[in-house]
Amino acid sequence: MLHRIANGIIEEAAENGCTIIAFEELSGTRDRLPEASWGHKWAFERLYEYVKYKSELHGIDVAVVDPENTSRRCSHCGFTHPDNRDSEAFVCLKCGYENHADYNAAKNIGLRYLRRNQTGDGGGAPVGVRLNRGTLNANGEYETPAGDSGQSGSPRESPTLNEARSSDRAK
């Protein structure tokens, strides 16, 4: 099952021309989730390992970000509180933003990756993160393609700013 999930993540990233797949830092999952079963903890780390080695075959990098509060932070306004999340539901106590809790966390992972790399020197800051074929930019603005609900998906990186400019110049 983990191989099928990893293959699906890689396939979706490749179909959309992504160069990075961002994950939460999964090492130490066993310590962070003491209530989870051993099998669940092991699966998180194994999935990351499968995606990492399979993505190399497609020229896609895998990046990790700090997981702190990704499931408690509102991806819309930034307010962080443990009561924002109730099982699979996310409702921000400050601004009222509602979404699936895992999808909200995925947006936060993408935002954290983007913001971490805005000042990097590796070819320019990424323009946005792809989520279910929509785009999330570093300001937290999400643009959904026409007819797409944007309610599920994995974070995927858009071209870097330098790549986008080069593409514009070539047109």
Higher pLDDT, 18 or 108: 108
The domains of the chain are located at 2-170
**Mean pLDDT score of the chain:** 75
92 class by beta-carbon count within 10 Å (0-12 exposed, 13-18 middle, 19+ buried) = buried
Express each pLDDT in 93-128 by its tens digit: 999 999 999 999 999 998 888 887 765 555 555 556
Say what the alpha-carbon torsion angle 89, 64, 16, 7 is, to the nearest 10 degrees.
Answer: -80
d(CA 37, CA 167): 47
Express each pLDDT in 46-92 by its tens digit: 899 999 999 999 999 999 999 899 999 999 999 999 999 999 999 99
Q: Which of 76, 45, 40, 39 is nearest to 62 (CA)?
A: 45
Residues 6 or more apart in contact with residue 29 via CB below 8 angstroms: 36, 41, 44, 45
